[in-house]
Amino acid sequence: MPAVRSALVLVLGLVIVACSPADIVASGEAADASGPASTPIGLDPSGAESPGPERSSEGSPDASVRAKGAGSMSIGYLPYGQWATVTADGLRLRYSPGLDEQFDRTLDAGTSIFVLGSGAVNVDGFSWYYVAHDAGLGSDGMVAAEGVGWIAGASSEGTPRVENLAWTDASCPPLPIDAETFAGLSGWALEACDTGTLTGLVGMLDQPIEGPITPFRYEPEWLWFSPWFLTDPDEANDVFLSKGWNFAIHHPPSIPTDALRRGDLVRISGHLNDPAASDCDVMPSGDAVQPTEGVKQAFQLECNVAFVVDTLEVIGHTDLPEG
């Protein structure tokens, strides 16, 4: 394929950032083990959306977020998802979930975060979350942040319980959900919100040349890496994934893809939580190191929220420029 493009896929175990009672250290002393009480996250027990705290005039849970300063990056998610505030100084932002994993910075109390991952990973007695830190909403309504990583949100074992996050806001999109809205949902929103029936989603097919670089192999492979993305048709004249919305679409072995071409305009229907997700597993490739328990759990969560195609109808075609 002529265009030089790469997939926007979370490479578990290679990217990313987090803590424990001893892992949260400020001025040489452990943070308060009791922690503050967490606030409602905006969903009632039935899963229906309930009113959450009002956002500030800046469009963020915290008007003082630092994400709008120099060095911030656009995460690209619509503001549907889970927000929280760090409650302990010295919370370590790690590349993978686990107390022995490397970190390159710490977060202080008051830092605003946006949960990107689809759920908690339980490792070393803590619930770990994949987040964007120093996060806020830009004037375009998209999430901006200084970086991403894994943090330990709370102790999942032992007494007293350590709370490192105060949940400040959560929201779910109205139904029905179109392709652009679906593409903008965080992993948390895909897992926690009612996405309704995902039918009649319209977009343009594009694909990367290369898959992600990883020392592991994943099964079933079709739920791990998708060679096809549904993208914004209005961005046909731009390099792959440069500006518009996009999301990976996973074809089960029963649905052939041989006749598909880059630039096909399609109408698709699909679902999350495919039954095959229960068999998702990650294993070492060749002589590579064994994947950690955190990597395995994170992959399982990603499998649960993968968009799996039910039907796909080609309704047109656009010749894409080489990128």
Q: What are 40's strand-pairing partners?
A: none
Q: How many helices (H) and strands (E) does the chain have?
A: 4, 20
DSSP code of 27?
Answer: T
Q: How confident is the model over 298-322, as a mean pLDDT?
A: 93
Instruction: Work out the pLDDT band at 139, boundaries 50, 70, 90.
Output: confident
Predicted pLDDT at 101: 92
Q: pLDDT digit string (tens) for 31-71?
A: 323 333 333 333 322 233 333 333 332 333 433 333 344 45
| Stretch 216-232: mean pLDDT | 91
Distance, in Å, from the CA atom of 261 to the CA atom of 179, rounded to the nearest integer, reads: 19
pLDDT band for position 73 (cuts 50, 70, 90)? confident
The pair phi, psi for residue 263, each rounded to 5°, is 95, -5
pLDDT in tens, 238-282: 554 456 788 999 999 999 899 999 999 999 999 999 999 999 999
Query: Any residues with CB less than 8 A from the CB of 37 and at least 6 apart, and which?
Result: 163
How much is the pLDDT for 215? Answer: 84
Average pLDDT of span 309-314: 96
Res 299: pLDDT: 93
The domain limits of the chain are: 25-170, 179-317
pLDDT at residue 288 is higher than 60: yes
User: What DSSP designation does 6 have?
Assistant: B
Per-residue model confidence (pLDDT) at position 156: 76
| Whole-number Å distance between alpha carbons of 310 and 250 | 10
The per-residue pLDDT for range 141-163, each reduced to its tens digit, is: 889 999 999 999 988 776 677 89
Cα separation, 172 vs 81, in Å, equals: 7
Q: With contact defined as beta carbons under 8 Å apart, do 226 and 247 qualify?
A: no
pTM of the model: 0.78
At 235 the pLDDT is 72
pLDDT value at 30 more than 60: no
15 has pLDDT over 50? no
Q: Under 8 Å CB-to-CB from 271, ≥6 apart: which residues?
A: 198, 307, 308, 310
Q: What percent of the chain has pLDDT over 90?
A: 55
| Cβ neighbours of residue 55 closer than 8 Å, sequence gap 6 or more | 61, 137, 169
| Contact criterion met (CB below 8 Å) for 247 and 320 | no
Whether pLDDT at 300 is above 80: yes
Res 12: pLDDT: 39
